[in-house]
Amino acid sequence: MQFDFNTYTKEYIDNEAIKKFASKANEIKKKFETNLKELKWFQMSEYVDNAELKEIKELAVHLKETTDVLLVVGIGGSYMGTQAILSAMLPYFKKTQPEIIFVGTSLSSEYYYDLMKYLKEKRVSINVISKSGNTMETITAYELLMKMMHKKYTKKELKQRIYVTTNIHQGKLLEEAKKNGYRTFFIPDDIGGRYSILTSVSLFPLAVAGIDIIEFLKGAKEGRMYLNYASIYAMVRTILYERERVIEAFTVYEPKLYYFTEWLKQLFAESEGKDCKGILPISVVNPRDLHSLGQFIQDGNPCLFETNLYVDTCRTVTLEKYHEPMHDIEHLVLEKVCEAHTMSGSPSNIITLDSINEYHLGEACMFFMMSAAISAYLTDVNPFDQPGVETYKELIAQNLRVLK
């Protein structure tokens, strides 16, 4: 990975501002050298088990032979990281075998009606994911789908088709898995959903899709060497935030990375957005959005900055008109857009991946998780809880009880 936090931000970041946060950032970095339970995702040896990885790979082979569609049932961190990696890795016009469909992200009856119709003649398996075991959106989808599964398969067959990823200690899903003999994967106690991309939450469905999870984990492990850069990025973000840049546009020029920016939105918003603090993350895909959001970024309220996630090497085609590879033209657009936006008051960071593969995506995941945690610590909020999310859940639960 390569990092440019200077070319298009130097007018906004001075030495005094850096000095203000440097000491605190150094103290925060020391947290990563200890065995703090909330940073267990950083200490990968604590939860990535070789025996489980071997079993995941064996089960992935089994599902390829027996399943047309794997339904990944979950919401938030239970699916967003998986979809981010899968979307980045897959060719544009090719489905995986088995096909991976993410379910439980909406309560649309139109969607479920069409889904049931689509699955009617398919061989289906389910991976339901919920750490608490009682996430409303997840359980609603799971119960609906299990009615279909009980009609399609015997109880014996379901043992080979239902996979439960949940809390190791308790919960509705754990009880059902034990009762029916479903295969279970466990989410470590101290790892929240948005930091669970390196656990079985994502590793199992990614392996089924044909992703090399070993290379992915290797990249994440090596990504820890970017801790200093993660700290610098967190300081830059915090300085810009103090200067009323309250929105961060995660911008990509490769559409395959769109869902990666969706994962980044959750990672940063849930980590920082507390106590009336935090930067609002949004997603931008250029050049598409240069013709919509680009107008606002160029001439609108100077309330944001951009962090561009760019890919250095990719397959390409050559445009005869310009005698240039299209990827070179794309890079020119990136530079000139950053230049134009900076001139109008919207500074830009650039983070470059060497290429899109499992290893480099693993690096990027670790880098951004470190950055999100440090950013939250810099503004004195807990990076690992989400109390605001619980409010709507409780209100819904109260009203569902009334309906019942």
Catalytic residue among 19, 291, 321, 404: 291
Contact between 209 and 100 under an 8 Å Cβ cutoff? The reply is yes
3-state helix, strand, coil in the chain (%, to 5): 55, 15, 30
Dihedral angle sign, alpha carbons of residues 88, 94, 95, 98: negative
Catalytic-residue membership of 270: yes
Continuous H helices in 243-386: 258-272, 293-299, 326-343, 358-378
DSSP state of 245: -
Contact between 370 and 32 under an 8 Å Cβ cutoff? The reply is yes
Contact between 204 and 185 under an 8 Å Cβ cutoff? The reply is yes
343 Cβ contact partners less than 8 Å away, ≥ 6 residues apart = none
For residues 354 and 223, give the distance between their C-alpha atoms in angstroms, rounded to a whole number: 13
Catalytic-residue membership of 393: yes
53: number of Cβ within 10 Å = 17
For residues 201 and 211, give the distance between their C-alpha atoms in angstroms, rounded to a whole number: 14
Exposure string (b/e) for 351-368, b if CB count within 10 Å is 16 or more?
A: bbbeebbbbbbbbbbbbb
Q: In what order do the strands lie in the sheet with 348-353?
A: 2-8, 348-353, 304-311, 247-252, 280-285
Tokens of 361: 């995506």
Catalytic-residue membership of 150: no
Dihedral angle sign, alpha carbons of residues 286, 288, 291, 293: negative
For residues 365 and 195, give the distance between their C-alpha atoms in angstroms, rounded to a whole number: 9
Catalytic residue among 270, 272, 306, 363: 270
Cis link prior to 98 (omega < 30° from 0)? yes
The residues annotated with a catalytic role in the active site are 270, 291, 393
